[in-house]
Structure 1
Amino acid sequence: MKKTKLNEVTQVSFLPWLFPINCYIIEEENDLTVIDIGVNQFVKEIKAMSEHCQKPVKNLIITHAHSDHVMGYPRFKETFPECRTYMSEREARFISEDFKFDESEVGFQLKGDYSKASSLHVEDFLQEGDQIGSFSVIETPGHSVGSISLWNPQTQLMIAGDAFQTKGRLAVSGDLVKTFPFPAIATASKEVALQSAKKILSFNPRILAVGHGEMLIDPIDRMKEAISRCECERKDK
Structure 2
Amino acid sequence: MSQPPIRLALFGLVNTYLVPEEDGLTLIDTGMPPLVPRIVKTAARLGKLVRRVLLTHGHTDHAGGLDAVRNAFSHAEVMMHGADLHHLEEGGVATRPDHLLRGGERIGSLRVIPAPGHSAGQVAFLDGRDGTLYAGDSFTTLGKTRAVSEFQLGFGTLPWLASEDRAQATRSAALLADLPGVRWLAPGHGTPQAGPTPLMREAVLRAQQDWPVPPWQLAFIRPLQRAMAARPRRD
Query: Normalising by the residue count of structure 1, what TM-score does the alignment of the two structures yield?
Result: 0.82
Following superposition, the deviation at residue 235 of structure 1 comes to: 9.5
What CA deviation, in whole Å up to 9, does each residue of 1:201-228 have, x standing for no partner? Answer: 1114110001110100001111111111
2:4·2:184 contact (CA, 8 Å) conserved in 1? no
Counterpart of 1:160 in 2: which secondary structure? strand
Following superposition, the deviation at residue 114 of structure 1 comes to: 6.8
Q: Of 166, 169, 173, which residue of structure 1 is paired with 2:144?
A: 169
Equivalent position of 1:208 in the other structure: 185
Cα distance between partner residues in 2 of 1:88 and 1:56? 23
2:183·2:194 contact (CA, 8 Å) conserved in 1? yes
Q: Which amino acid aligns with 1:189?
A: D
After TM superposition, list the pairs within 5 Å mapping 1:1-237 onto structure 2: 7=3, 9-16=5-12, 20-92=13-85, 95=86, 115-116=90-91, 118-179=93-154, 180-204=156-180, 205-233=182-210
Counterpart of 2:210 in 1: which secondary structure? helix
Following superposition, the deviation at residue 234 of structure 1 comes to: 5.5
List gaps (5 residues or longer) in structure 2.
Answer: 214-235
Cα distance between partner residues in 2 of 1:169 and 1:114? 33
Q: Which amino acid aligns with 2:162?
A: A
1:22·1:212 contact (CA, 8 Å) conserved in 2? yes
Equivalent position of 2:218 in the other structure: none
Ranges of 4+ aligned residues in structure 1 off by more than 3 Å: none
Inter-CA distance 234–120: structure 2 relative to 1 (3 Å threshold)? farther
What CA deviation, in whole Å up to 9, does each residue of 1:156-186 have, x standing for no partner? Answer: 1100000111113211122111133111101
User: Pairwise CA RMSD of aligned residues?
Assistant: 2.1
Following superposition, the deviation at residue 76 of structure 1 comes to: 1.1
Q: Which amino acid aligns with 1:201?
A: A
List gaps (5 residues or longer) in structure 1.
Answer: 1-5, 100-112
Q: Which amino acid aligns with 1:220?
A: T
Inter-CA distance 206–9: structure 2 relative to 1 (3 Å threshold)? same
Counterpart of 1:11 in 2: which secondary structure? strand
1:208·1:219 contact (CA, 8 Å) conserved in 2? yes
1:65·1:117 contact (CA, 8 Å) conserved in 2? no
Following superposition, the deviation at residue 142 of structure 1 comes to: 0.3
What CA deviation, in whole Å up to 9, does each residue of 1:84-125 have, x standing for no partner? Answer: 100012223xx1xxx8xxxxxxxxxxxxx9732542321000
Cα distance between partner residues in 2 of 1:65 and 1:59? 16
Cα distance between partner residues in 2 of 1:76 and 1:235? 40
Number of residue-to-residue matches in the alignment: 210
2:78·2:97 contact (CA, 8 Å) conserved in 1? yes
Where is the helix percentage greater, Structure 1 or Structure 2? 2
Query: Normalising by the residue count of structure 2, what TM-score does the alignment of the two structures yield?
Result: 0.83
Q: Which amino acid aligns with 2:166?
A: K
